[in-house]
Amino acid sequence: MVYFVEVKYRASSTFGDGFAYITAKKQQQMQFAAEFWLKTHNYNGACQLAAASVDGATNKVEFIDDL
């Protein structure tokens, strides 16, 4: 399984966690990049878009493995 992961770091969650900054446009960009990589590397296996949010104030890390 190949994961394409967007990681968002926020010093604090005052304005929302990192996931709040993964917009529909960002997901489209991730999908485009993933498809380009898959084609360029002739990879036909399983793949998935994922995201991680890191809160610098608490060192909390959250992961979504299926965008």
Measured between alpha carbons, how far is 20 from 2 in angstroms, rounded to an integer? 24
Give the residue, 56 or 13, on which the prediction is more confident.
Answer: 56
End-to-end CA distance of the chain: 15
Predicted confidence band of residue 13 (pLDDT cuts 50, 70, 90): confident
User: Could you tell me the CA-to-CA distances from 55 to 6, 10, 24, 33, 49 in Å, in that order?
Assistant: 14, 5, 21, 26, 21
User: How do the domains of the chain map onto residue ranges?
Assistant: 2-64
**Mean pLDDT for the chain overall:** 91
